[in-house]
Structure 1
Amino acid sequence: MISKQLGKLLEQQVANELQAHNLYLGIAIWFGQQSLDKWADFFYKQAEEEREHAMKIVHFLVEVGYEFNLGAISAVKPTYKDAVSAVKAALKNEQTVTGQFKQMAEVALKNKDYVGFQFLQWFLEEQVEEEALMQKLLDILAQQPNPREAELHLERGEH
C-alpha cells in the first residue's frame, strides 16, 4: 500500500525517533544532575513524545502491511557544557528530523504514494511546532542566562 522506497525511509525513521528519545532522555538526565528539575521534567516529556512518534510510525507500517526490522540506536553520553548547549543539541536534532520528513514527503509525492504522503503531514506539522519550541527555549535562555531562573518560565508553561 506504500512505496517500497518510502517504507525503507519510514523504517529508518523509527530508529531515528528512538535515537531522539535517547538524546532527550540524556538531556533530561544532564539537567537532573544539575538539579534543574523543571528542565529535566520538560526533556523527560520530550523523550516520551519521541518514543510515541516511533510507535506511530510502527503502527502505520504494520497497518499497511510493510515488513520491516528495527534499526539499531547508538548510546548517548549526556555531557553538555551548559543549558544552552543542551537545548542547541535538541534544536539541531529537530532540524535534522524536519529534513528527514521533508525528504520522505518528496519521495512519497515522486512515487504517487498519496497514502504515505497523507500520513507524513502530521509529522511535518509537528516538526514546525518542535523547532519553534526549541528556539523559544533558546530565546528564554538568551534573555535569562541563569537556567535556574529560566526554570520559572517552564513552571508557568511559557514554552
Structure 2
Amino acid sequence: MPKAVQTMISSKLAQKLQEQVGHELGAHQQYLAIGTYFAQQNLDKWAALFYQQAAEEKEHAMKIVRFLTDVGEVVHFPAIPAASTGFKSAADAVAQALKWERTVTEQFQTMAKIALAESDYVGFQFLQWFLEEQVEEVSSMEKYLALVESGINLFQAEALLEIED
C-alpha cells in the first residue's frame, strides 16, 4: 500500500480529476466505436479521424494520471460505461461526439472553478492546457458535423478531413 504523502492539490480537485480519468477513457472507447461505425461504412478516412481522436483521449487520461502521481495522489481508475453503438447515421455519430466534447468542456470548467475556489493554483495551471484543448475539440467537431449535415457525399468529404499521421 502506498505511503500517505502530503499532496500538492486540493482534495476536491483531486477527486474530480480521478473522475475525469474515467471520462477520458470513456471518450477513448466512444471514439473507437464511432471510428468502427465509419470503418464498417468503408469510410476509411472518417474512421481514421475518430481512431485518432480515441488515441488523443487516451493521452488525455494519461496526462491526468501522470499529474495526479506527480502531485502525490494515489490514482484510482473508475469503471467505464460501455460505448454507445448503433448510430442511425454519420450525422448521429458526429453529433454524439460533439455532445461529448461539450460535456467534457463543462467538466474542465467546473474543475477550474473548484481549483480557483480552493486557491489551488497548481491544479488551475494544469487545467489550462485542457481548457485550451477543448476549444479546439469543440470547434473541430462542429465543423465535422456541419460537413456531414451539408449533404456532401461522405466519400468525397474524406478529402476535406484533417488527419495527422
What is the TM-score normalised by the length of structure 2?
A: 0.91
1:81-92 matches, within 5 Å, as: 81-92=88-99
Q: Which residue of 2 aligns with 1:34?
A: 41
Between the two proteins, the alignment pairs up a number of residues equal to 157
What CA distance in whole angstroms lies between the structure 2 residues aligned with 1:71 and 1:17? 11
Q: Residue 158 of structure 1: CA displacement?
A: 8.5
Amino acid at match of 2:59: E
Q: Which residue of 1 aligns with 2:82?
A: 75
Over 3 Å off, 4+ runs: none
What CA distance in whole angstroms lies between the structure 1 residues aligned with 2:96 and 2:64? 24
What is the TM-score normalised by the length of structure 1?
A: 0.95
> Does the CA contact (< 8 Å) of 1:80 and 1:86 recur in 2?
yes
> Does the CA contact (< 8 Å) of 1:18 and 1:51 recur in 2?
yes
What CA distance in whole angstroms lies between the structure 1 residues aligned with 2:24 and 2:62? 9
Identity of aligned residues (%): 54
What CA distance in whole angstroms lies between the structure 2 residues aligned with 1:76 and 1:119? 28
SS of alignment partner, residue 49 of structure 1: helix
What CA distance in whole angstroms lies between the structure 2 residues aligned with 1:30 and 1:47? 13
Q: Residue 120 of structure 1: CA displacement?
A: 0.1
Q: Residue 142 of structure 1: CA displacement?
A: 2.8
Higher helix fraction (1 or 2): 1
Amino acid at match of 1:94: E
Q: Which residue of 1 aligns with 2:26?
A: 19
What CA distance in whole angstroms lies between the structure 1 residues aligned with 2:156 and 2:88? 18
CA displacement 1:91-142 (0-9 Å, x = unmatched):
0000000000000000000000000000000000000000000001112223
